[in-house]
Amino acid sequence: MKRKEFLTTACGVCGFGFLAGVILTQESCTPKAGAAATKLSVEEGKVLVPLEIFGANNILTVKVKGREDIGLVKKEDGTVLAFDMTCPHQGATVKARDGKFFCPAHGSVFSAEGKLEKGPARTALKQYKASVVADKVEVLVS
């Protein structure tokens, strides 16, 4: 089985789709496309994320060139929340896991709404303005 076939199969099993050129991350499934993968870019203060990136999931993180990862949560009403994945405790990168956000450095936990559930962090995740425009999520990062 070729690497690409493996990643597609493995990600399909755990419910993640793999879009060419985009790295999705979650603790249980991290397609590491290495140098071949391209991160999303900031253009005119916005990051445009294809809605299809969610697949069957409602919470994930995406890599962005030159910036911290962005956490995305698709709500039942179709709106999307976006968060800076920089942990407010000491700046580690927060990950999506089990429907929440988790900091692997010291164990802080944040809800899917970005609220602090467990320290040592003392504040919520920084939230970005995000809106769904056609088939993309537009995240304002500046």
Q: What are phi and psi of 17, to 5 degrees?
A: -95, 150
In the DSSP assignment, the letter for residue 67 is S
105 binds ligand FES (CB under 6 A): yes
Stretch that binds ligand FES, among 2-10, 11-19, 29-37, 100-108 (CB under 6 A): 100-108
Residue whose CB is less far from ligand FES, 87 or 137: 87
Regarding 92 and contact with ligand FES (CB under 6 A), the answer is yes
Q: Residue 87 interacts with ligand FES (CB under 6 A)?
A: yes
With CB under 6 A as the contact rule, the residue among 28, 38, 90, 131 that binds ligand FES is 90
Neighbour-count burial of 123, counting CB atoms closer than 10 A to its CB (0-12 exposed, 13-18 middle, 19+ buried): middle
CB 88, min distance to ligand FES, A: 8
- Residue 121 binds to ligand FES (criterion: CB under 6 A): yes
Show the 3-state SS of 41-58: CEECCEEEEEHHHHCCCC
Find the helix or strand (DSSP H, E) in which 13 lies.
helix 3-13
